[in-house]
Structure 1
Amino acid sequence: MIGWLVAAGVALAPIAFGGRVARRLAGAAWTYRHPRAALVLWQASCLAGGLGAVGIGLVAAVAPLAAVFPHGMHALAGQIAAGQGLDGLGPPHVVALAWSVGLIVWLLVHTTGVTVKTAARQRRQRLLVDVVADHSPVHDAYVLPTRERVAYCLPGRRERVVLSQGTLDLLSLQELEAVLQHERAHARGRHDLVLLPFVALVQAFPWLPAAREARAAVPVLLEMMADDHARRAHGEILLARTLVRMATPALDDGAATLALADAAVAERVARLLRRPERPRWVPAAAYSAATLLLSGPFAVLLAPLLCLTIWNI
């Protein structure tokens, strides 16, 4: 009995604390100072919540089959392999098993759908860029013939950085190099793949506050991580000025207004200009919290496999 309570508690802990972690992360100022650590904590929080939700269903499902959870999973697998189906499971246990299986399928369906749509969109964008844009060997970038201010990357095996003629006309050579450094950081870090699970999560559970908060926070953190790459090469002032110039809409009379495109750009500029202290203990604490969040669900889900392969129980 104690073993089952421990397994259930370990599986439930990330679910119970995941929402609180998400709320704290969404409003924490330190996340902008340490975007990589904050991103890891977002990933751990969402993954631990999903694994915990699957794990608690499995713990409840196999409770009648053995004294401890790993043996219960072995017994269930043995029954299914022997053609005995779900013998020994009552209706509540079957419902719990269906919950875990359904949750896994639901997440896989949405993740696959988002992956397919993202790949198709990137293929269309590459085709459009190849047809419309001219390659600039000087900048190793593709230039779109438009006066709108455009700068983005198309990641993949043949990554492309795409600029517009308006961007080339607007920025100085140093500012342009900072933009290129920023976009190549996105492409080489495959930030599109980092964002993909969060997009899938919010599509699977649009009513879940933690999913919505993660979906809103992660793109900003990825932009700040790319900013850090460009800042190391070109400095804070130059990069901040470049962001302002790219985000400031030009007026018809040639003047400009310092109304930045969105709050995220304003936060990025303020972050670059503040130059706050970055105590090392903050990311260390974030990585430790991420490890702690994941350790419980992984321990529950891996226990049956470890008992079978290592200890031969």
Structure 2
Amino acid sequence: MLTPLVLGALAVLLAGPVPWALSRWSGLRRTPAAAMLLWQSTALAAVLAALGAGLSLATDRLWEPPVAAVDVVVAAVAGAVTVVVTARLLLSAHRTGTALRRTRRVHRERVDLLARTDGGVSVLEHDLPVAYCVPGMSGSRIVVSRSTLTSLSADELAAVLEHERSHLRSRHDLVLEAFAVLHRAFPRWVASAAARHEVEVLVEVLADRAAVRTGGRRALASALLTLAGSTAPAGSLGSAGSLAARVEVLRDTRPHRVQSLGVMLLAAAILAVPTLLVVLPWLSGLDAR
């Protein structure tokens, strides 16, 4: 009976208090790759713990003789909860993915009708500086406005374009989609909104890191200020989001190797420790029966 209790407690902690605490650790953004790994491991561990709690409770009740009527009822309820959680995740993934792909397909079609192509970039006739990318399995688009081309210097424009290319190469859209699925699938008390916001910041910081290698920190920061008033359409990834947080990270040029290593070890522990201490002993118990 200990295994489902431990898994249930882990699920609650990893779904609520842990994301809440991580979202308030602003210094975590200084090591964005490690931070992204930590957020992903926390979300995955929370889902696995929630599903494992229900499954282990059901099996503990049914496979430990003697089996009473109340054991069958408890097992049935635990199994039903597990099925509901799984179904909500699958339904959320289907609805979120379908809506995003439809939105992006329609937007790409409109861009192709209205924009001219210049060096693989779609250029819209617009008076406001705008830059964003529209991901897609059958063809992505990097979109800028005419005002962006005239407002930015060559180095600034190169940094912005590399920022968008980094989004597309790294498939940041899939990362954001996964957290959008969790946000839509679970109740409000789960800290999925905080997780989703932090991951949105982190994908921008990661793209900024790639852009800095092309245009430099000063060029990118200047470009971000120029693009500060723009917003990206639904389903796209823009260059101007989370400006204050990103500028703060850009100003910090230290490597933070110790923090990066520590965060990666924490991410590994969040996945490995519950598995080693809870799931594997439970599976060994099943084999013994």
Structure 2: segments with no counterpart, 5+ residues:
231-239
Q: TM-score by structure 1 length?
A: 0.79
Shift of residue 149, structure 1, vs aligned partner: 1.6
- Given the alignment of the two structures, is residue 237 of structure 1 paired with residue 198 of structure 2, yes or no? no
Distance 1:304 1:6, change over 3 A: closer
Aligned length: 277
Distance 1:279 1:121, change over 3 A: same
Among 217, 228, 245, the residue aligned to 1:267: 245
What's the C-alpha RMSD, in Å, of the aligned pairs? 2.8
Distance 1:92 1:10, change over 3 A: closer
Residues 3, 56 of structure 2: 8 Å contact kept: no
In structure 2, the partner of 1:154 is 134
Post-superposition CA distance 1:206-232 (Å, at most 9, x none): 513410101111111100000000012
Runs of 4+ in 1 over 4 A off after TM superposition: 296-308
Distance 1:17 1:197, change over 3 A: closer
Range with bigger deviation, 94-103 or 280-289? 280-289
Post-superposition CA distance 1:80-134 (Å, at most 9, x none): xxxxxxx995212210110111100011101111011111111111101111111
Distance 1:35 1:216, change over 3 A: same
In structure 1, the partner of 2:77 is 95
> Residues 37-48 of structure 1 correspond to what in structure 2 (within 5 A)?
37-48=34-45
Shift of residue 35, structure 1, vs aligned partner: 1.3
Distance 2:113 2:37 in 1: 38
Residues 202, 212 of structure 1: 8 Å contact kept: yes
> Residues 174-193 of structure 1 correspond to what in structure 2 (within 5 A)?
174-193=155-174
Distance 2:281 2:103 in 1: 40
Shift of residue 34, structure 1, vs aligned partner: 0.8
Q: Could you say what secondary structure the match of 1:62 adopts?
A: helix
Residues 25, 38 of structure 1: 8 Å contact kept: no
Structure possessing the higher radius of gyration over alpha carbons: 1
In structure 2, the partner of 1:282 is 259
In structure 2, the partner of 1:246 is 227
Shift of residue 29, structure 1, vs aligned partner: 2.5
Among 160, 185, 191, the residue aligned to 1:204: 185
Among 61, 73, 82, the residue aligned to 1:64: 61
Residues 212, 220 of structure 2: 8 Å contact kept: yes
- Given the alignment of the two structures, is residue 145 of structure 1 paired with residue 125 of structure 2, yes or no? yes
Q: Match for 1:293: what amino acid?
A: I
Q: Percent identity?
A: 35
In structure 2, the partner of 1:74 is none
Shift of residue 16, structure 1, vs aligned partner: 2.6
Distance 2:12 2:140 in 1: 38
Among 3, 7, 12, the residue aligned to 1:15: 12
Q: TM-score by structure 2 length?
A: 0.86
